[in-house]
Amino acid sequence: MLSTILAGVKLQNPTVLASGIRGVTGSSLVYMAKQGAGALTTKSISLKERKGHPTPVMATYEQGIINAVGLSNPGAEEALPEIEYAVAKSQVPVITSIFASTITEFGKVAEIVAKANPAAIEVNISCPNVEDEFGRPFACDPGISTVVIQKIKKVTSLPVFAKLTPNVNNIGEIAMAAEKGGADGITAINTAGPGMIIDIESATPVLSNKVGGISGPAIKPLAVRCVYDIHKATKLPIIGTGGVNSGRDAVEMIMAGASAVGLGSAVYYRGPDVFKQVSSEIEEFMLKEGYKSIEEMRGVAHEK
């Protein structure tokens, strides 16, 4: 009942560990698989080591979480053994997330991580809190989005998912551009923003980077709308990510057009076994409403 397929990759349930959430080491990824995740996404990996931003890098507020970790990672060659460990030991599909500052680097990173034979590669072209260093995110430009995906598809036959930003006028247009480049699927959305929280006692922004990406319940309606628009524009499989905290939230994403749902902030709010909880809640809803499969439920909001 809960199984779903993403670009030929079968998941036993539609929950996916979102990138950046306990996906730093092979052992932490394997642990999350044991908590019931249908698939795992690694932390985003670049060609060379990146230290990221100094602490504090994360803060919570009433409606969500703001973070500016800054894409810290050890670099592709150093991360490769950890990915290989996760692929070998997790028993669920592993999706490797990558990012780069140039189109050429995207190809190089993809070529390295593909050696671990993950189930798919997620291309992070949409991080909202490193714009000052890399300029405007690639996902804001349809033409560049196409070229980035083309570059990666030249070096690997693995399924490629483009991770998109909500910070555009027409996310459906960007999704179509990624599809034109050969993308096999879409992850939507990355964190929104950037936003800012100020500590009023010290009159200082809370994060060392001053601004950061916004996640959690506050962005769920935005994410649902983006998934809806993408599904309307292209029939590529979508991993709907952004504020999903319960089975009902997940169903909302699926009805908008997602084939699977990414869980990130939900791990903070409900604990690492949130994948089992959300899967159980989805199944309960499906039994109550008479849905027999995820695919039967996918995109039904477009029929109304």
Catalytic positions: 127
Give the list of residues 6+ apart from residue 229 with CB closer than 8 angstroms, or none: 170, 171, 172, 175
How many residues can be counted in the chain?
A: 304
Of residues 69, 63, 78, 123, the one with CA closest to residue 96: 123
Contact call for residues 127 and 47 (beta carbons, < 8 A) = no
CA distance 231 to 157: 24
Give the list of residues 6+ apart from residue 133 with CB closer than 8 angstroms, or none: 101
End-to-end CA distance of the chain: 23
Give the list of residues 6+ apart from residue 59 with CB closer than 8 angstroms, or none: 65, 66, 67, 197, 206, 207, 212
CA distance 207 to 110: 31
- The single-letter code of the amino acid at 254 is I
Q: How many helices (H) and strands (E) does the chain have?
A: 11, 16
